[in-house]
Amino acid sequence: MVTSTYERRGVARTMPSRHRRDRFVLLLAPALIWAGAAGVLALWWSDTASVVGPAGWLTGAGRITGLLAGYACAVLLALMARVPLLDHSVGSDRLARWHALGGRWTVSLACAHTLLIIWGYSLTSRTGVVGQTATLVLHYPDLLKGTAGFLLLLGTGIVSARAARRRMRYETWHYLHFATYPAVFLTFGHQLSNGADFVGNNATQLAWYALYLGVAALVGWFRFLVPVRRALRHRLRVAAVHPESPGVVSVVLTGERLDELGARPGQFFRWRFLAPGLWWTAGPYSLSAPAHPRHLRITVKAVGGHSAALAGLRPGTRVWAEGPYGAFTADRRTARKVLLLGGGVGITPLRALFETLPGEVTLVHRARRPEDLTLRAELDAIAAARGATVHYVVDEPAAYSSPLTARALSRLVPDLAAHDVYLCGPPGMTEAATRALRGAGVPRGRIHHESFEF
């Protein structure tokens, strides 16, 4: 019989406390971000005696937007520093959405700051906008570097727009996105050199340095030093590559002391395979089986150049793994009954959860054709061992198809509204499934989904 990890003595009691911790962090993180923004506005308010005339209002607005843009840059980097507490409590996909939304606001604030300051200064000095721009860039301390940083930030925002991202490979966008780091570095100096709220105010300057140095420490530690340290300690290598279904392979990896990674069912790593054509990209793939002290396994579908190349990996290939990441774990569970709903290769994290989640668990695996039902033999074996239910739904042949609607799901899973639902699959499938689940009465808070569409 399959025994759940969370049914072992002493571990079951930790689930409620972990859930409370995650909820607390999820509420605390945005509260702290907004509190910081309020503090920035208070800084401007305390340093501003009065605002007189159009030039004063424009310059004041430019100061406010500049302060907020500078603060937002630090927040953006902190959100993607991959701090485990944030990542495991908030979730990688939610952090990525916050980062994307914050990025749009940051670029908008930086543009507004630039235009308002130039306009306000030109009114004050009674010069043209072009002449005032040249004066600021060429004669104010650190503003030439600040201008270069602003242009880099603007360019990063443009390539990150959804319309632009659709026209480039993920790897290309990923490396262009690294321009954010030099952009922030170049713009930092001019904030302290020219900002009216910083010049001559040592306490404010120290606070700003502390903010930026703290974020730099988080990024340097969790995004760079920890992956290197773990690569040297765990020495991951490819052990074998097995075909699972058309275009889908499982990659088994071995290493040392892998239990120290703390990987949990439902989580993923960013895998960097040190092989020709692969070493420069770290792809996010979920564990498709519970972690073992000596080996890990991922199951990957060929949907792009990187994933397709994994089928040709040779045993012995060195691997760097960053993680584990994600909050798609048992901690999200709030009800006794659970539905695992997976589409295509989205079954991979659900397969690990299917083996380990305690209680009454139902699995629905959707695919285009019967031969696309990845890991079916393993799912059947787990279901038989734990007395769980598995439903397989395919689009072809039509006789075995079932629409992804509230009525169809309710027929497959009685009392559906009383279930927690873990959902993983292609974007179109997950959107349709979410609508169907809400139509069947499943509360939004019980639909758990984590996406790699960053």
pLDDT at 378: 95
Nearest to 79 by CA among 66, 65, 91, 70: 91
Nearest to 175 by CA among 34, 280, 66, 287: 280
pLDDT at 17: 65
Q: Measuring CA to CA, how many Å separate 286 from each of 133, 136, 185, 321?
A: 50, 50, 34, 12
pLDDT at 282: 83
- Residues (pLDDT < 50) of the chain are 1-14, 454
CB 290 within 8 A of CB 5: yes
pLDDT at 12: 40
Write down the residue that tokens 């994307």 correspond to. 100
pTM over 0.75: yes
Cα(303)–Cα(185) distance, rounded to whole angstroms? 36
Residues with Cβ within 8 Å of residue 148, at least 6 apart in sequence: 186
pLDDT at 169: 72
| β 389-394/360-367 pair status | parallel
Please, is 181 exposed, middle or buried when counting C-beta atoms within 10 Å of its C-beta (0-12, 13-18, 19+)?
middle
pLDDT at 105: 94
Where b means 16+ CB within 10 Å and e means fewer, 251-263 reads bbbbbeebeebeb
